[in-house]
């Protein structure tokens, strides 16, 4: 399944569940992260003899912003949707992929 199809499934799920629970004051939102460079990836690359710097170089050009995400960037999106700052947001899907799904 390609990334666009996954986003459509999650988007529909967040909207449907949001409709079902919204009247009870329960907010339902989704975050669709793009490729994210985690400690797991860095350790796995190191086990293959690839340095973190080389791994980062290999991911240059990903998506429109030209790189993969850092875990803190995905966490910030989740934190926002869970916060009072998003108190009037429900049924939404926030795509945090550096523009990967809209690239040409």
Other C-beta atoms lying within 10 Å of the C-beta of residue 39: 9
Report the predicted TM-score, pTM, of the whole model to 2 decimal places: 0.82
Alpha-carbon distances of 91 from 30, 78, 85, rounded to whole Å: 8, 14, 15
CATH code of 71's domain: 3.40.50.720
Look up residue 10 and give its two tokens: 């999650």
Whole domain around residue 21: which residue ranges? 3-102
Identify the weakest region by mean pLDDT among 1-5, 11-15, 65-69.
1-5
Q: Render pLDDT for 12-43 as a digit per residue (tens, 0 to 9).
A: 777 777 788 888 999 999 999 999 999 999 99
d(CA 57, CA 95): 24
Q: How many domains does the chain have?
A: 1
Q: Render pLDDT for 80-96 as a digit per residue (tens, 0 to 9).
A: 999 999 999 999 999 99
Helix, strand, coil fractions of the chain, as percent rounded to 5: 50, 10, 40
């Amino acid at each position: 399944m390609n990334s666009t199809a996954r986003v459509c499934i999650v988007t529909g799920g967040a909207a449907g569940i949001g409709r079902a629970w919204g009247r009870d004051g329960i907010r339902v939102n989704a975050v669709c992260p793009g490729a994210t460079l985690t400690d797991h990836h860095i350790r796995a690359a190191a086990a293959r003899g690839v340095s973190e710097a080389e791994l980062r170089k290999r991911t240059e050009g990903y998506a429109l912003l030209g790189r993969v995400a850092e875990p803190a960037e995905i966490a910030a999106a989740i934190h926002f949707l869970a916060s009072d700052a998003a108190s009037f947001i429900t049924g939404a899907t926030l795509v945090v992929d550096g523009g990967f799904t809209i690239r040409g």
